[in-house]
Structure 1
């Protein structure tokens, strides 16, 4: 399978560098200088993964991520010169799957790209394997479309959120440790320890705080919430 990647960055040298490495992996490379150009390409092309810088003119990276996440669970890798922990956490909270800071090793960037693609396609996030739907109370997970529904309301999930929610919904009431969630959600050692907390917080915002209970010192479990009257 040949993948299409859209790289959004206003630094031409960064674009040129990663383009060379991606082409050596037989990955098609599209480029945009800002979020506005990126949205146009996303509307016209089938894109499998998005690489996003944060500091860009017109529509910046954060706004681009927010816009994409309204309709898509496309894997998103941030590569940015903004190195503060607050920036990394915010990027993950609004929907990025991974965050790499500049300057970076291009080999590591390619490894992260391949890991995200592998998880999204090869490891079942987009493969349509298993049950078509999982249902716990009034929460339904469509395992083909990688989306969730609270009653009739559509919830768009990132790739990591989908895998973790699927894990929790397969065994509601069971407590999963942070390590188990980390291993199941990210499936490689490149994800940071803080990612679990950030992701669970974001997942709670999407499906309801009352559905995911923190068991202090142990981990997390999914609670059954029934239909509203």
Structure 2
């Protein structure tokens, strides 16, 4: 009887140890599988699934919307090759022809009759008129309320209302038909109008923005 009990106890112990061993092996295998799965190299698919975020994305469109249009500076060419006979002056100056003081809101360029007169800036001819005092005048619209007027000239045959000119294009020649400044001799009486007001043309002989 004692021997049977001992055999049964030994069998139980053996079964217990076997169960513990099996459990330990199972745990080891589970851990090994987890480690393998974690370190398993990925198979390349040929596509780059990585999303690259550009920090500037979203800013470019905003910058475009905030960009201000480029403003082209206005710079006049000289209308004629000649010296200045009288500068622009809002202070009254003496007019020898009229025998009185008056503002001189223009620049007079002294030149011989027949001297070429050119457009100081691109634009469109809006007026070709003739008066007893100023002779023949050509008015050019340069846009944005800016005009130039060339008094006492003989305009070219192609210079008519609607004619488009570029800076430096010939628009006529100097004449001596300006009777209100006859004692000055042949010259170009050059005016600049900005938003309906006569201004000093010298403003546009340096870079200015419209």
If the TM-score is normalised by the length of the shorter chain, which range does it land in? Answer: under 0.3
Structure number with the bigger relative contact order (C-alpha 8 A, sep ≥ 6) is 2
Q: Which has the larger radius of gyration?
A: 2
- Please give the TM-score of this superposition, normalised by the length of structure 2: 0.23
Hey, which of these two has a bigger chunk of helix by percent?
1
- Please give the TM-score of this superposition, normalised by the length of structure 1: 0.22
